[in-house]
Amino acid sequence: MPTDAKRPLQLNDQGQLRHFLSLDGLPRELLTEILDTADSFLEVGARAVKKVPLLRGKTVCNVFFENSTRTRTTFELAAKRLSADVITLNVSTSSTSKGETLTDTLRNLEAMAADMFVVRHSDSGAAHFIAEYVSPNVAVVNGGDGRHGHPTQGMLDMLTIRRHKGDFTKLSVAIVGDILHSRVARSNMIALKTLGCPDIRVVAPRTLLPTGLEQEYGVRVFTDADEGLKDVDVVIMLRLQRERMQGGLLPSEGEFFKLYGLTEKRLKLARPDAIVMHPGPINRGVEIESAVADGSQSVILNQVTYGIAIRMAVLSMAMSGQTAQRQIEQQEDAE
């Protein structure tokens, strides 16, 4: 789908969030507003009473067609901390075709008067499909669609980088591992580019690299990990997405670890104050050494905490965009 086609679907006439489907085409100011809003919600998470009434009386429905632990639970917590009523459905994709499953499930959920759907699906474009289908007062948030995108993960990664490293325009960031199958890599490349990061590197074996990345995302591609990690400020490691691989894209996990795994020795090539990130779930000894995952440069667990704040920001912003949209519609109806 061309970028321009996504804008009207995601944003209302005032440029506010209406749905949150993809980082593609979203302006820097909006990404910064999400980060600033999340910063203020981090403070709520540190209070004894971790709640604000922003979504009181609203119903948020998490619909997960694909497994998830971190994303599902942090979306749930985010909605609860905003005082929404939350239900979570783990829907099996089974053998039913995509259109039928989604449409049937949605009809049922709409009958429960949900105000927001958070959707994870193994098919790229599923959240867009749903956003086009739902009634005008329902907001849709993408919790990860196939290989396409994972915009809240992208934004929580940006919050992590901003809180630990500051100004994006002065940073070198390396994204390492299974780029081909990673929706996280895509969302991160778009977010980093939009936020003005001048040196975005992707590091992977040729078999796990999609073609045309340089042109599409303005990144530098490295097949040699030692070269790619040299002097970077941020290392984002990715999991090998075995479930999305067909056939022999890799010789073996052992070989992958030898060439691309983040060991203490390899991390020394980055800047001494570099941070290490990973969206989880981590596979120790496959893409990352335990000593690094648990080491002083790792911010992997901070990412999880920041994920709640980012999801609170996105849910509340999409809902206030909705409210504005609703007011306009009501005004128009009255005229």
72 touches ligand NCD (CB under 6 A): no
Known binding residue 280? Answer is yes
146 touches ligand NCD (CB under 6 A): no
- Closer residue to ligand NCD in complex, CB, 7/244: 244
Q: What span, in angstroms and rounded, lies between the C-alpha atoms of 38 and 146?
A: 26
Q: What span, in angstroms and rounded, lies between the C-alpha atoms of 313 and 236?
A: 23
150 touches ligand NCD (CB under 6 A): yes
We find the least distance from the C-beta atom of residue 71 to ligand NCD, in angstroms, to be 4
Known binding residue 71? Answer is yes
We find the least distance from the C-beta atom of residue 66 to ligand NCD, in angstroms, to be 8
183 touches ligand NCD (CB under 6 A): yes
Instruction: Please identify which residue in 16, 71, 187, 298 interacts with ligand NCD, judged by CB under 6 A.
Output: 71
Q: What span, in angstroms and rounded, lies between the C-alpha atoms of 23 and 36?
A: 16
Cα-based distances in Å from 303 to 180, 183, 256, 275, 276: 22, 17, 25, 11, 10
279 touches ligand NCD (CB under 6 A): yes
Per-residue burial over 63-94, b = 16 or more CB atoms within 10 Å of its CB, e = otherwise: bbbbebeebbebbbbbbbbbebebeeeebeee
163 touches ligand NCD (CB under 6 A): no
Instruction: Please identify which residue in 7, 33, 70, 125 interacts with ligand NCD, judged by CB under 6 A.
Output: 70
Known binding residue 56? Answer is no
We find the least distance from the C-beta atom of residue 156 to ligand NCD, in angstroms, to be 9
68: alpha, beta or left? (left if phi > 0; alpha if psi -120 to 50): beta
Q: What span, in angstroms and rounded, lies between the C-alpha atoms of 107 and 105?
A: 6
153 touches ligand NCD (CB under 6 A): yes
We find the least distance from the C-beta atom of residue 174 to ligand NCD, in angstroms, to be 17
Known binding residue 149? Answer is no
Nearest to 194 by CA among 30, 11, 314: 30
Instruction: Please identify which residue in 280, 309, 313, 322 interacts with ligand NCD, judged by CB under 6 A.
Output: 280
We find the least distance from the C-beta atom of residue 221 to ligand NCD, in angstroms, to be 20
Distance from the Cα of residue 170 to its chain's centroid: 23
* Site track for ligand NCD across 232-271, x = CB under 6 A: -------x-x------------------------------
18 neighbors 11 (Cβ within 8 angstroms): yes
Q: What span, in angstroms and rounded, lies between the C-alpha atoms of 188 and 156?
A: 10
86 neighbors 79 (Cβ within 8 angstroms): yes
What residue ranges bind ligand NCD (CB under 6 A)? 70-71, 144, 150, 153, 183-184, 239, 241, 279-280
Binding residue numbers for L-aspartate: 98, 183, 239
Binding residue numbers: 70-71, 98, 120, 150, 153, 183, 239, 280-281
